[in-house]
Amino acid sequence: MTVSALPSAPLHRRLFAMLYDALLLLAILFIASAIPLIFTGGEAIEGHNLLLTGYFLLICFGFFGGFWTHGGQTLGMRAWRLQLIRDNAGALDWLAALLRFLSGLPGWLVLMLGLAVYFNPQIQLPGILRWLQNLPHGSIVLIGLLWLGFDNWPNGWRERITHTRVILLPKDRG
C-alpha cells in the first residue's frame, strides 16, 4: 500500500498528538523565554511587545516547520502514528509549512484567548474583542476547541489550502 492510499487520521488521534506537541513546545518556549532576559538585564518584558510575540511565533514555526519538512512528523505525531503528506506524496517544503502554520493560527489564537479569559476573568481585552468578555468564559474555550477540531478534520480548509493530508500509519508488524 502506498503512503497516499493510507486513511486520513481520525480527529481524536490528531487532538492527542496536538496535546503532546503542545507540552513539548511549552517546554521549548519556557527555555526560549530566558534568551530575551539577557538583553533586558533580567527585567520582565511588557506583555504587549510585538518583537517578543514575533520571536515566540518564530520559535513555534521553527518547531512545527522543522518536523513537517523533515519526515512530516512532529514528536506527537510520531507517538500517535500520524504523518503529514502532500497530496502528490512529496515532502513538504518550507513555504507549504509556513502556509499550514499560518492557516492554523486562528484556531489556536481563539483557544488561547478563551483560556486567558477563563483563568483570568478580569483581563481587559483590546477593542473589538471586548464583547467576548460578556460570553460565559468557558464558551470561548469551547469555540477554540471546536475550531481546532474542524480545522483538523480530514479534508478541512487548512488541508485544502496547503494540499496536505494527515494520514494514519499502519502498526508495525514486527
How far apart are alpha carbons 52 and 73 in whole angstroms? 27
Q: Which residue has the cell 471546536?
A: 146
Q: How confident is the model at residue 153 (pLDDT cuts 50, 70, 90)?
A: low
H/E stretch holding 44 reads none
pLDDT tens across 10-68, in order? Answer: 888 988 998 999 999 999 999 999 898 888 887 877 767 788 889 999 999 999 999 99
pTM of the model: 0.80
Instruction: Record the cell numbers describing residue 30, joined without a space.
Output: 519556557
Share of the chain above pLDDT 90, in %: 35
Distance of CA 31 to the CA centre of its chain: 18
Instruction: Record the cell numbers describing residue 98, joined without a space.
Output: 509556513
pLDDT tens across 117-131, in order? Answer: 778 777 777 776 777
- Residues 79, 17: contact at Cβ < 8 Å? yes
**Which residue type, as a one-letter code, is found at position 50?**
L
pLDDT at 174: 46
Q: Which of 18-27, 111-120, 149-158 has the lowest mean pLDDT?
A: 149-158
Nearest 5°: CA angle at 24, between 129 and 50?
40
Domain boundaries, the chain: 3-168
Q: Which residues pair with 165 in a beta bridge?
A: 85
